[in-house]
Amino acid sequence: MNEIEQTMRMIGASSSIFIDTTHQLSDKQLQLLSRGPSYVPPCLMYILFSNESMDDIVKKQFASLKHQLMNLFEKYNINLPLRMEIHDKTYREFKNLFFKPIPSNLFQRALYEKNLIQSIQYSLKKNNLILRRTANNMNTFYVGNVADFETKADRYLTRSEDYEVLININNKTNEKTLDISIKEMIDSMNSLLEKLKTHKAIKDG
């Protein structure tokens, strides 16, 4: 099977993965990738953080929820005693959910898919492949050669009128530091805005 036939076979098999290069991914690996970037393996957290204590896992996972609670407390001006009560009750319930044992079949599936994900990562690195989510919000993975992908990306940025490279932070020969360059850009934009205001092209507001 040649390269084009292989690519077309994968496109026909799933709309959630586009393969733009030759590869050595197995059918099982492709089957997992075909579920798309939005797929979350069940109970994977128990496997990924198996070397950490459950208390540490709960604290890490609760952090984002805690941040949301703090925002709500501020928004609705909740007094301190009630804040503490809501926080403590929410944390206890959150913790109880984590300490519930998961069924054996789900645990085995989580372990299997973790190993499958690691094998995909190894294969991508070994064969200089890149895995990216496409920018069209279609729950689609793109698999391509790293060098080819970078060449195409550079070509697009060079030809596109949607982007303008103001400074390359990876270029060590820059005469100006990043903070100075950013300050000059901001000053330039502010100057332009002031001119627009002077000519009443825009209004304060």
Q: If you write DSSP's letter for every residue of 26-90 in order, what string do you get?
A: -HHHHHHHTT-TT---TTHHHHHTTTS-HHHHHHHHHHHHHHHHHHHHHHTT--HHHHHHHHHHH
Contact 24, 143 (CB under 8 A): no
- Interval 121-131: pLDDT, tens: 999 999 999 99
Residue 89: per-residue pLDDT: 97
- Name the least confident of 138-142, 162-166, 197-201: 162-166
Contact 61, 44 (CB under 8 A): no
SS3 (DSSP) at 176: coil
pTM exceeds 0.85, yes or no? no
Contacts of 102 (CB under 8 A, 6+ apart): 43, 46, 110
- Interval 49-96: pLDDT, tens: 777 888 888 998 899 999 999 999 999 999 999 999 999 999 999 999
SS3 (DSSP) at 132: strand
Mean pLDDT of the region 106-132: 94
* CA–CA separation, 17 and 32 (whole Å): 10
Q: Is the dihedral of CA 164, 166, 170, 175 positive or negative?
A: positive
